[in-house]
Every structure is written in C-alpha cells, then in structure tokens.
Structure 1
Amino acid sequence: MTRIALWVLIGCLTAAVYASEQIPEHDLSADQIVEKNIAARGGLDAWRNIQTMVWVGHVDSANTPAEEMPFALALKRPNKTRFEVTVLSHRAVRVFNGKQGWKVSPSATGGGEARPYTMDELSSAHDEQVIDGLLIDHQAKGVDVTLDGIDKVDGHDAYRLGVKLPSGVTRHVWVDAQSFLDVKYDRVARGPRGPVTVEVKYGDYRSVDGLQIPFTIESGAAAAGKGDKLMIDKVTLNPPLDDGMFTKPGSQGRRNSVSVNADASSPALSRPGP
C-alpha cells in the first residue's frame, strides 16, 4: 500500500470514528429521550424529593440601567414562585401563589404598590413547572411530548421535542444528543406588536447534591439581539419556605423575603418585606 493510500485510509477511518461519536441516535423515541434526560439530570426519585428550591445570583442584562443586578428566586411545589431583583438599590418583586400573582416595580421613592398579574402573565405562570420542568413526570402533569426532529444548538445536535401543555399551549424543548441535558426551550409571549417567541438557553450545568442544574440561563426574543442572562451563584435544595412568602406583597402581617446574600450557607429570610 502506498504512503498516500495509507494516509487516505487513516483519514477515512478517523472521519468515520468522529462521525460515529457525533451522530445522535436517530431511532430513539420521545419517551426514551425523556427517560435519558431524567437520568442525566439526576434521576426521577431525586427530583420528586425536592419540595422547595432557592436560587441566588445576579442578572447580566444590556436592557436595564444596571449591568449586574442581584436576584433571589424561591420555588415551592406545586407551583409557587417569588422572584426578587435589586435595581439601583430598589427591589422589584414578582410573586405567584399557584392561583394569583402580583408584581411590585421599584420607584424613585422605594417600593411601589403591588399590582395583580395580567391575564397573559397568569396564563404563563399556570403553565410553568417551577421545580422540575416540563419533562419530568410529564404524563402525570398532563403534558404530551413528541419528537419533532433534530437541530443544531450552539453547534451541537439536539433533539427537538414538541411539548403540549394541558392549557393547549405548545412549546419546544431541545435536549442535547450527547449529554441528554436540556439546552433550550421556547415559549410565545405577548409583545407590544403581537406574539413574540422567547428562547431560553441553559448552560454551565453543575451537580448540586446529585442533581444537574444549569448555573447560566439566557433568555430573549428569538429575533432580537443579546438577551438577559441569569448567573446563578448558589442553589439550595429543600430549604424551609413559609407559604406567607408567596402571598400578596405589602399585605398586612409579617411576610418573608428571600435574602440575596449569596455567601450565606442557606437562604436567609428577612422580615418584614414587600
């Protein structure tokens, strides 16, 4: 065999090996992809054991007056959320108790008045699966999942899953064909000029007590430029969260507020708060 023929053969074999490592398994069903996704994220039983979760970090955004804004996100099953972000020393709050939602925007004089969610915001909040996402226990949640195809996401093959929610809304979730972790999902939001597709990308996965959790979450309109990025500094699993934290901000009585102190060993609760 000549030297040239030998190099051609080596090149072909190398290309074949490289291709076998990159080409995803085309014969996987939607259920098999979901099963692999759950295993990659830490397992079904482990996620079912999570009843509360707190994320602390900062927002990196080109669309706000401050480049970096500290935030805290508290989550509690079945579908309760409290999100706080500090903008130029003023705190904005969004709270959803599973049925109703309220928001407080910062003002020059401090905290503003709590306003109820709009109908669109309520619909979106009802559709979210705040602790474990759309794929885990999707049948019990009444979520239908289908395999729609394979796309490139940041240069890597990813399965595109069609996800139909009980409300009738359809979204897409992209699962990396190698790691089987979620890398992107989309949803439709109402913009000033009509419906807008919002893309959310997940990155920098890290192990937290055996669960794989993304520490970078970037979101923005699909057709727009740079979006907002959540940079997560600390994730705490199953901290004690009182239901009062998820009531209307500013209502009578003492209410909990999630601290944005990322150095604490556990999420601190301060009283009183908006």
Structure 2
Amino acid sequence: MKRIAMWTLAACIPALAFTGEPATEPGLSVAQIVEKNVVARGGAEAWRKIQTMVWQGHVESANSAVPTLPFALEMKRPNKTRFQITALNQMAVRVFDGTQGWKLRPAHSGKLDLQPYTPEEVKFAQEEQVIDGPLIDHEQKGVAVSLDGVDDVEGRKSYRLNVRLPSGVSHHMWIDAQTFLDIKYDRETRNPKGQPVTVSVFYRNYQSVEGLQIPLLIETGVGATPRTNKLVIEKVALNPPLDDWRFAKPDAPGHSTSVSIGPETPQAARDTHRPGR
C-alpha cells in the first residue's frame, strides 16, 4: 500500500472521529498489534485481492514555486510503480519495473532527461511493499517485526515497531494505540550531499474505499526542518487494468503517459482537506 511509493512522500494518520477516548489496551504483544492493524485497515483477505491500485491528486510542496502539482501514482504487484507529476506544463516520471527504475524529467535545455535509478534508489524500490505495506503477511514476505516501545506521536499514544526487511535494513513505524492504523513511518537515507538524514512520513485522513482504510493525506519531512511535502489523494481506483509496459523504460513510443480514473471507478474522497483526526 502506502508507504508505498515513498518516492515523493508516503505514509499517513487516521482521520476517524471519536465520540469519546476509548481506553488503550495495555500489554499487547507485537503479534496482537499487527493483527489489530491488519483488521483496522480492512483485513488481510481484502487486501490480498488488490493487484493494482491508482491514486490521483496533487502535491503541495514547500520546495516548489507552484502551489499544487497534479500527480498520478500507479502500483502493481509485486512491486511495480509509476509516479507522474506535472508542473508548468512539464511532466516528470519515475517508474520501477520490479528490477530497474528510471527518472524522466525536464532538463535546463528544455528537453527531457532520462536517467536510471541510482543503486540506492533501486534498493529502496526493491524493498518497497507495494499495495499493502510491510505488516500484512509480513512473515511470508520475510519481514521481521518487533515492539520497540510506546511513544506519543502528535498527542496520540502509539506503538513503535521495528520493521526489519529481508535485506536487513530496519525502519520504524508507529501504530495508533486507539485506531490501530499506521500513523508514522521513519526511514534513514542520505541527502544530496551524502549526509545521513531521517525521512518521517505521516499518514493522515483515513477514509474507507470499498472497505479498505486508505490515508488521503501523506505528509513527508526530512530531519528537523519544518518544511514538508503533502500528497493529497483525491481519487483511488482498486484493481484497474494496468499493462506492464506502463512500468517499462518511459521512452517507449506510442504509449499513453497517463491513466484516467473515470466516474465508474471507486473514488476515495470528496473532501481531502477535512481535518486529519
């Protein structure tokens, strides 16, 4: 799922309204926390039926002169992804076919520049658990999960899980102790200068899409900087047809560069700017 193509941003926090503050459950094991998270998100069986998913919306970036940037994110199991964003009538695309990745973006000359993923980008894309994330069926995926502790995340008690991927790389994710939905995800990376930094991703404004809980606002920040990027999801399509060529090297001639979610397709949100709690 999300945390999903965390290329630009990724991750979220629940937007459920509570009539009261239900008591959190003390002394839960990591297995119980994971089980409750899977149930809260819609159940493992429902997620296993999703083979493809498309998000459409816009990006609000603190690093862009344009206030909103339209985007489309296409995902296909096991880990194919295509992220397309448009600004000032120019398009940038990132695609990963499960083995290799490419970046197509405008150059200073005005032409499009195509570059392969760096080794670090390939490694990250290969580790990404497209569609359903690392916790659902984590044992079959070779993902080890342990409970590191309990933290306060934006005023909410949250379980801090250590998630170790098959590559041996570990990340932290936080599960809300009341809703049991993902609330935050951290990963270590390097900035353009090669310095280690922590990328924090917050999942917000969960909505039900055909019984699945999907965050419609994903906010990403790096380190202690107050400047963040927001991925605002306006439409969600479950199991739309996505041919493999859409995830191939993006210079293939004669292929459409965008996918449209029509009125017959499941739409997730009518108001993506509603409060995230």
Alpha carbon RMSD of aligned pairs, Å? 1.8
> Cα offset for 1:70?
0.2
1:47-67 deviations in Å (ceiling 9; x for gaps): 000000000000001111211
Aligned 1:170-209 pairs, distance under 5 A: 170-191=170-191, 192-209=193-210
> Cα offset for 1:226?
2.0
* Separation of aligned partners in 2, 1:111 and 1:140: 44
Q: Find the counterpart in structure 1 of residue 16 from structure 2.
A: none
* Stretches of structure 1 lacking an aligned partner (at least 5 in a row): 1-19, 268-274
Work out whether residues 90 and 111 of structure 1, in 8 Å CA contact, stay in contact via their aligned partners in 2: no
Work out whether residues 160 and 175 of structure 1, in 8 Å CA contact, stay in contact via their aligned partners in 2: yes
* Separation of aligned partners in 2, 1:197 and 1:231: 22
> Cα offset for 1:193?
4.5
Identical-residue share of aligned pairs (%): 55
Give 2:97's aligned amino acid.
N
* Separation of aligned partners in 1, 2:53 and 2:248: 17
Deviates most, 102-111 or 179-188: 102-111
Q: Secondary structure at the match of 1:122?
A: helix
* Separation of aligned partners in 1, 2:241 and 2:96: 17
> Cα offset for 1:113?
2.6
Q: Find the counterpart in structure 2 of residue 46 from structure 1.
A: 46
Work out whether residues 90 and 107 of structure 1, in 8 Å CA contact, stay in contact via their aligned partners in 2: no
Q: Find the counterpart in structure 2 of residue 167 from structure 1.
A: 167
Matched, 1:155 2:155: yes
* Separation of aligned partners in 2, 1:22 and 1:149: 20
1:39-90 deviations in Å (ceiling 9; x for gaps): 0000000000000000000000111121100000000000000000001110
Give 1:79's aligned amino acid.
N
Q: Find the counterpart in structure 1 of residue 78 from structure 2.
A: 78
Q: Find the counterpart in structure 2 of residue 270 from structure 1.
A: none
Q: What is the TM-score of this pair, normalised by structure 1?
A: 0.85
Work out whether residues 198 and 219 of structure 1, in 8 Å CA contact, stay in contact via their aligned partners in 2: yes
* Separation of aligned partners in 2, 1:68 and 1:107: 21
Q: Find the counterpart in structure 1 of residue 99 from structure 2.
A: 99
> Cα offset for 1:254?
2.8
More helix by share: 1
Aligned 1:1-274 pairs, distance under 5 A: 21=21, 24-107=24-107, 112-191=112-191, 192-251=193-252, 253-259=253-259, 264-266=263-265
Higher relative contact order (CA 8 A, sep 6+): 2
| 1:201–1:128 Cα change, 3 Å | same
* Separation of aligned partners in 2, 1:31 and 1:254: 49
* Separation of aligned partners in 1, 2:215 and 2:224: 24
Instruction: Please identify the structure whose Cα radius of gyration is greater.
Output: 1
* Separation of aligned partners in 2, 1:263 and 1:224: 38
| 1:264–1:104 Cα change, 3 Å | farther
